[in-house]
Structure 1
Amino acid sequence: MRWLPLAYLVFVMVLEAVTPTDWAVSFLLIALPMVAAYALGPLGVAAVTLCALVLEGVVAGTPCCTGHNLHQLWETHHVAAYLDTGLVGLLGVALAAHRQRQERHLVRAHSVAEALMRTLLRPVPHEVGRVLAAGLYRSGEVGTMVGGDLYDIRATEAGERAIIGDVRGKGLKAVRTVAALLGSFREAVDDGGDLLAVAARMERRMAREADELRDNELFVTAALVEYAARSGRVTIVNHGHIEPVLISGGRVTALTGPPALPLGLGTLADEEPVAYTHPFTPGDVLLLCTDGLIEARDHNGVFYPLLDRLRHRFGDGAAPGPDEVIDFLNTDLPRHTRVFHDDVAILAIAPHGTDGPPSP
């Protein structure tokens, strides 16, 4: 964009050189200040306007360069062109100043929104309790972190507990729901109940959130996970979310289990949610993700083949770490799709294989 005014100027001058003398091509210079307003600041637009006025005079009345007579410099239609250029220049200066103010406002708004999301989605520590962890977040909103996906992991007396979720909807309303749900999770995991009790408390919080927002269709798909180092097993409660993926010994498996309705829709179910378990030992990696990952499309409309890509990369049997899995997805996913239409949240955890006390 910064080269656009120069490119336009070159275009007009080349056109002036190749067209007949009586063609008033120089009048195209009237638009030059407005073209500059898309890329330059007010002072830059003012300088371009002055340059356009000078060039219009040169083209209008320089016999040696353009074949025009000097007396044509002050003909009525040329004077009108000078006045028009000056007027357009003033409008261009105002537009450039307004554009710069809007840009500064957007930068501040994006910075505040990003700071808010970073406060809610805190950086995933490399080590949480007796597991290693890594996370990734990509917003569907270009250039911002604002979105409706969430994740968190906490070390508790019952074991390491994690959540991954996807709020229905977008924008600030979704961010508010993310804040409410994460706050409920962070309080509930330390209250001593099992994973189903945590899920039940979050279900009640979602019901209150729906009442406050007056949204009967508000819900969150979520998967809750608890790792117990003593038993070497992971417990999962899945509320309508994508199944966790286990990478173990070169095999990549989706850990399916009894489904449950998303959080916020629990009153519609006849049965209570059911937890299920699976072995989870050192060398394994459990991957939690939102549908923005598996629904990312390439230019042919093909979804991202998560399981196949993981098998291709980690099917040699070598035990990867959570960081390695996240780094792979962070580079492989953009190769599959250039445009993200939905938020992407990914959390990977793995037992670190020590029996010492858990880290805070």
Structure 2
Amino acid sequence: MTDHQALRRRQDLPRARGRGFAWVAPLLLLAGITTVDLNTTERFRIISWIVLVPGIAAAICGVWTTAFFSVLAVTLYVVVDHAWPKQYQAGLPDFILVAFAGVLAVLACAVRLKSERRMLHMRDIAETTLRTVLRPLPPGWAGLDHAAVYLAADTEARVGGDFYDIQPGPHGTRVLVGDVQGKGLGAVETAAALLGTFREAGYHETDLATVADRLETRMLRHRGHTAALGRGDGDRFATGLLLGFLPGRTDVVELVNFGHEPPLAVGPRGVRSLPPDHGLPLGMGELETGGGPPPTLTVALDPEETLLITTDGVTEARNGDGEFFELTAEVSRASTTDPAALVAHVRDGVLRHSRGRVSDDTTIFAVRPTPTDGQKERQRRRGGQPGP
């Protein structure tokens, strides 16, 4: 849908059977003022109130509709006012008021529509940026069941520094979830730079450690570029989790942790946390003992386990009493291992805990190897519920 189509739809709201009826409100007001003025005594003349009609039209209708109501208001004012004896007529001053209000209403409507076009254009840019950073992932992409929810702390910007992606390749499927330090366009730019490197390195590189090293190098190069531009975010860093699912293997996952909260493995036997982070965030690799990226861990996965990864918008969500959100406890009550249902459960819990207001960009990401037919049958019998 183009900006102009979206704007036209907004102008027509509310709608019934595809037809806009925003014009009904000023029309009813016009009819009401006219009827009351004609059916009351000379002591209650309200025809001058018809000046409100073009203003209402300017707020909810298009320019031509507003112009129509402006002309109609002036015409009805003249007709109704002259229906009274001369001594009770409002006369020329109120006529000028109604006519002048109509002109102003048309101009105000034009300004409103121009502002809405600009707003819709900016929203389109934000949505394009969001699709670039958080590109849509097809269901079952690369042999993985996955689901994700992203909640921007800035509801107007709609995109922040959280990022995630799945990249299939000849050496397995790689997954990256991360959180860039800070907010604003600088954080979005950094996330886009890291994702671009991940999509190439994740496909071509044989070892997950090499992918991790490429990400660290990209972060340092990006910081050097921003510093050369004289920007104040030259020391930006990013936490992240890099996962590697090996070809033909559903019982293990490779993991490189860049200072991120460890994933939760949710399975039929309950919830467990994977090994804690062993590395520093991206951009701080030179501080790592011995240099280089964090170590690559190989972690065993039980059948049907789902990995749940969240950014700090989840773990740092607070309620009215300042209490943090208890992620593990909430996941234990989920009664499901399905990625989509699990993500929805955590999202609802975070919003309920924080009363719908997230203070930081929030990403909830769940992934698992696509279950075999036998595993799907066991899940169906069990209703997707973890065992004791």
Shorter chain as denominator, the TM-score bin is 0.7 to 0.9
**Residues 92 and 122 of structure 1, relative CA distance in 2, 3 Å threshold:** same
Residue 43 (1) aligns with residue 64 (2): yes
Question: Equivalent residue of 2:308, what SS?
Answer: strand
Tell me, yes or no, if the aligned pair for 2:205 and 2:211 is still in contact at 8 Å.
Answer: no
Q: Distance in 2 between matches of 1:297 and 1:51?
A: 55
User: How far is 1:210 from its partner?
Assistant: 1.7
Match of 2:245 among 224, 227, 231: 227
Aligned partner letter, 2:86: L
TM-score (norm 2): 0.72
User: How far is 1:150 from its partner?
Assistant: 0.9
User: How far is 1:70 from its partner?
Assistant: 3.2
Worse-superposed segment, 240-249 or 23-32: 23-32
Q: Distance in 2 between matches of 1:260 and 1:304?
A: 25
Worse-superposed segment, 244-253 or 153-162: 153-162
Q: Does 1 or 2 have the higher relative contact order (CA < 8 Å, sep 6+)?
A: 1
Q: Distance in 2 between matches of 1:95 and 1:141?
A: 29
**Residues 250 and 55 of structure 1, relative CA distance in 2, 3 Å threshold:** farther
Structure 2 counterparts to residues 86-125 of structure 1, below 5 A:
86-125=99-138
Match of 2:369 among 347, 351, 358: 351
Q: Distance in 2 between matches of 1:137 and 1:33?
A: 42
Q: Distance in 2 between matches of 1:72 and 1:186?
A: 79
Structure 2 counterparts to residues 1-360 of structure 1, below 5 A:
2=22, 5=26, 27-54=48-75, 56-57=77-78, 69-73=85-89, 75=91, 79-142=92-155, 145-192=158-205, 194-214=207-227, 215-228=233-246, 230=249, 232-270=251-289, 272=291, 273-296=294-317, 303-314=324-335, 320-329=337-346, 333-336=350-353, 337-352=355-370
Once the two structures are superposed, residues 62-107 of structure 1 have per-residue CA deviations (whole angstroms, 9 ceiling, x without a partner) of: 55xxxxx4334254xxx22322332232222122123223323333
Tell me, yes or no, if the aligned pair for 1:148 and 1:167 is still in contact at 8 Å.
Answer: yes
Question: Equivalent residue of 2:67, what SS?
Answer: helix
Question: Number of residues paired by the alignment?
Answer: 343
User: How far is 1:152 from its partner?
Assistant: 1.0
Specify the alignment match of 2:382 in structure 1: none
Worse-superposed segment, 253-262 or 200-209: 253-262
Percent of aligned positions with the same letter in both sequences?
32
User: How far is 1:252 from its partner?
Assistant: 2.0
Tell me, yes or no, if the aligned pair for 2:33 and 2:49 is still in contact at 8 Å.
Answer: yes
Question: Equivalent residue of 2:138, what SS?
Answer: coil
User: How far is 1:15 from its partner?
Assistant: 10
Instruction: Could you tell me which runs of 5 or more consecutive residues in structure 1 were left unpaired when the two chains were aligned.
Output: 64-68, 356-360
Q: Distance in 1 between matches of 2:78 and 2:118?
A: 39
**Residues 259 and 4 of structure 1, relative CA distance in 2, 3 Å threshold:** farther
Once the two structures are superposed, residues 300-336 of structure 1 have per-residue CA deviations (whole angstroms, 9 ceiling, x without a partner) of: 665544322221122xxxx623233234345555555
Runs of 4+ off more than 6 Å: 6-17
Tell me, yes or no, if the aligned pair for 1:133 and 1:349 is still in contact at 8 Å.
Answer: yes
Tell me, yes or no, if the aligned pair for 2:53 and 2:69 is still in contact at 8 Å.
Answer: yes
Q: Distance in 1 between matches of 2:34 and 2:346?
A: 50
User: How far is 1:349 from its partner?
Assistant: 1.4
User: How far is 1:171 from its partner?
Assistant: 4.0
Q: Distance in 2 between matches of 1:298 and 1:4?
A: 41
Question: Equivalent residue of 1:182, what SS?
Answer: helix
Aligned-residue Cα RMSD (Å) equals 3.8
**Residues 25 and 155 of structure 1, relative CA distance in 2, 3 Å threshold:** same
**Residues 226 and 9 of structure 1, relative CA distance in 2, 3 Å threshold:** same
Q: Distance in 1 between matches of 2:339 and 2:53?
A: 54
Once the two structures are superposed, residues 258-282 of structure 1 have per-residue CA deviations (whole angstroms, 9 ceiling, x without a partner) of: 3433212333455643344432132
Aligned partner letter, 2:268: G
